[in-house]
Amino acid sequence: MKTSNFTFSSKEKNCQSAGNTGAAWRKKKLNGEFLMESFSLNSAKSFIGRNVNLHLKDGAVIVNVHLTRIRKGEVGRGTLLEYVPYGNRKVTRIPIRNVAWAELLNFNLFQAAA
């Protein structure tokens, strides 16, 4: 049996895992640092009806919210993301432009710990 000395090499994109579907793609800058693209309407749509942690551009995190829908804001307001905090019934809105990325929550991990 003859074996080859050829080594297969491929360049992979820096893709997010399936658990982070809708999260922003990473872009590599010239100095080697990574830069996240902005949270967009398309990525927000993939999280509707799910529980997520919302990471805001100012560094704050809104923990465990259920995304209910996307609304068009009033004139000049942009697009708004509606969510309901866990254990609450009051709908809250936040401009999509303020969201850096969303982290999908896995409730199987919460159930295993209980």
- Find the CATH number of the domain harbouring 82: 2.30.30.100
Give how many domains the chain has, as a whole number. 1
For residue 57, pLDDT over 70 is answered with yes
Residue 91 lies in a domain: yes
What's the pTM value of the predicted model, to 2 decimals?
0.63
Residue 86 lies in a domain: yes
Residue 79 lies in a domain: yes
Helices (H), the chain: 41-45, 107-113
Segment 78-84 long-range contacts (CB within 8 Å, at least 24 positions apart): 79/41, 81/44, 81/54, 83/54
3-state DSSP assignment of residue 30: coil
Query: Strand 51-56 to strand 99-104: parallel, antiparallel, or no bridges (unpaired)?
Result: antiparallel
> Mean pLDDT, to the nearest integer, of 62-86?
90
Segments forming the whole domain that contains residue 98? 39-105
> Mean pLDDT, to the nearest integer, of 98-114?
79
75 — pLDDT class (breaks 50, 70, 90): confident
> Mean pLDDT, to the nearest integer, of 72-94?
89
